[in-house]
Amino acid sequence: MTIPSVLPLLKHLPIRTPTERRVERLLHDLVRPTRPMPRPTLWSASWETLHSLCTRIRTAPDPITMCEFGSGTSTAWFALAARAAGGGHVHSVDHELRYADRTRELLTAQGVAEWATVHHGPLAPSARNQDQPWYDERVFELVPAGINLVFVDGPVASLGSDIRYPALPTIADKLADHCTVVLDDTHRAKEQAIWERWISELSDEFLITVEPALSRSTAMLLQRR
């Protein structure tokens, strides 16, 4: 492969700082992948976010039931954390079948297919979001109640300004009394606006504690009133 042909691929690989390399090592030590894991791309969750979420799964006093919007390498990391914890399950929803299949293959390769389920939910216009695309909501019938960890990293933000907004309204009735919600890409104005809407709409039902931003993501802790 010539240098010009490699350049388009390299631009999707983020440059890792010394801190990121250290966090990457900590993540590997925490969950012990069975085989080498793919590196995150510019569109993936950061090492800091992955480590934070995997730590929550790994150290939780009770098994975690997680709902993830947008599958990928992160799904395998979370499943590895569930295996290391000895319990829990990740339910990941993806609108593209090819990516869902790739994630399933990665889960199998890592030996953690029993710790995660990837659900395919094609996009369709949604009344929840002014007819912007959203997952076919029938897919969420397969996600159990008692969700105590949510990670929203899909669908891709280029599909609409509020494309990720319906995530919490869709599963609100399935949230556990204590739940952590993490939204990725909160360094962007689109996600910041979604974040503020969620806080406003959830504040009557939950006591909300917002944690300091971590890399490109932000977490809120929900406690049902």
Please give the mean pLDDT across all residues of the chain: 91
Q: Cβ atoms within 10 A of the Cβ of 66, count?
A: 27
Query: Using CA atoms in the order 208, 209, 211, 212, what is the torsion angle rounded to 10 degrees?
Result: 100
Q: In this predicted model, what pLDDT tens digit does every residue of 154-186 receive, in sequence order?
A: 999 888 889 999 999 999 999 999 999 999 999
Percentage of the chain with pLDDT > 70?
A: 93
pLDDT at 69 over 80: yes
pTM over 0.85? The answer is yes
The CATH number of whichever domain residue 123 belongs to comes to 3.40.50.150
Residue from 131, 119, 182, 138 nearest 161 by CA: 131
First-to-last alpha carbon distance for the chain, in angstroms, is 59
Residue 21 in any domain: the answer is no
Identify the domain containing residue 169 by its residue range: 44-224
In a domain, 115, yes or no: yes
Domain total of the chain? 1
Residue 217 lies in a domain: yes
Residue 153 lies in a domain: yes
Burial of residue 201, with CB atoms counted within 10 A of its CB: 0-12 exposed, 13-18 middle, 19 or more buried: middle
Closest CA to 56 of 64, 68, 44, 67: 64
1 belongs to a structural domain:
no
More reliable by pLDDT, 131 or 48: 48
pLDDT at 137 over 80: yes
Q: H or E stretch including 21?
A: helix 18-31
Closest C-alpha to 79, from 115, 106, 48? 115
Report the pLDDT value the prediction gives residue 125, as an integer from 0 to 100. Answer: 87
- Helix ranges (H only) for 165-217 are 167-171, 189-202
- DSSP at 10: H
Q: Is residue 218 part of a domain?
A: yes
Which ranges of 60-188 does DSSP label H, i.e. alpha helix?
Answer: 73-85, 97-109, 167-171
Q: Classify residue 188: in a domain, yes or no.
A: yes
Q: Is 6's pLDDT higher than 80?
A: no
Residue 149 lies in a domain: yes
Give the per-residue pLDDT at 14.
56
| pLDDT tens readout for residues 83-120 | 999 999 999 999 999 999 999 999 999 999 999 999 99
Q: Which two tokens stand for residue 163?
A: 């494309």
SS3 assignment, position 27: helix
In this structure, are residues 6 and 30 in contact, taking their beta carbons and an 8 Å threshold?
Answer: no
Q: What is the pLDDT averaged over residues 31-40?
A: 90
pLDDT over 90, % of the chain: 79
